[in-house]
Amino acid sequence: LGLLTPEISDEELASRLEVLAHVYEICAGLEPESFILHLDSPPGIVLSPEVRAMAASRALAGLAKRLPDASQRFLVENTAWNLRIAANHLAEAGFGVCADFGHLHQHGLSIPDFLGTFGPSIREVHLHGFDASGDHLPLAAMDNPTLEAIIAFLKEHHPAVTVENFRADYLQSSLSTLARLW
C-alpha cells in the first residue's frame, strides 16, 4: 500500500487506509486475533529515519482515526527498516509489535536492542531460524545464545507465536528444537 510515502496527500493516504479497513471488515467474521501491518515505503523510495518515523506516525494516526480499535487489532511488524526509530510513535498510538528476528538479522539490527525497546509491546513473534545463508530456516540454524535469548523472551512475555518455516522438514526440525528448549 505504500503507507510510508511522505509526500502523499491526506486524501490518498485515506484511500490507502480504506483498503486496510475493507480487509479488516471482510475478515471480522473470522474473529482474527490480530492483523499484521507492514509499514513500508514503495520500492525505490529511500527515506531518512526522521521522515520514516513521521510517515509511520501519520499512517498509524490515520488508521486509528478510521478504525478506533486499530491499535488493539493491528500489530506493526519490523520489516526492512529499523522500527526502533518509530518506537515512540507506536507507543503513543498504542500499537503493538510483531517481532520477526530474522528481519532484524538480515538488516544487521540488534535483537537485544529490539527486545529492550519493545519488550511487552511485542504481542506476536514470527519464529524461525536464520544465519548468514538465509532466513526462514530451522531454529537450529541460529547460534545458541541468540536462540536461548529468544526462548527466554517467549517464556517471560508469552506473545502469540507463528513458526515461519515454509518446508515440512524445517518445521519438524524447529518443533524438535522447541521441544528440547522449552
d(CA 1, CA 119): 28
- Write the CB contacts of 156 (distance below 8 Å, at least 6 apart in sequence): none
Percent residues over pLDDT 70 in the chain: 100
Residues ≥6 apart with Cβ < 8 Å to 88: 53
DSSP 41: P
- pLDDT average, residue stretch 85-114: 95
State the amino acid at position 100 in one-letter form. D
pLDDT tens string 7-37 = 889 999 999 999 999 999 999 999 999 999 9
pLDDT one-digit tens code per residue, 38-57: 998 888 888 899 999 999 99
pLDDT value of residue 72? 93
Q: Write the pLDDT tens digit of every residue in 124-143.
A: 999 999 999 999 999 999 99
Prediction pTM value: 0.93
Residue 7 has what pLDDT? 83
Provide the edge-to-edge strand list for the sheet that holds 96-100. Answer: 35-38, 74-77, 96-100, 122-127, 160-163
Residue-wise over 1-28: b if at least 16 C-beta within 10 A, else e? Answer: bebbbeebeeeebeebbeebeeebeeee
Q: Is the pLDDT of residue 108 over 90?
A: yes
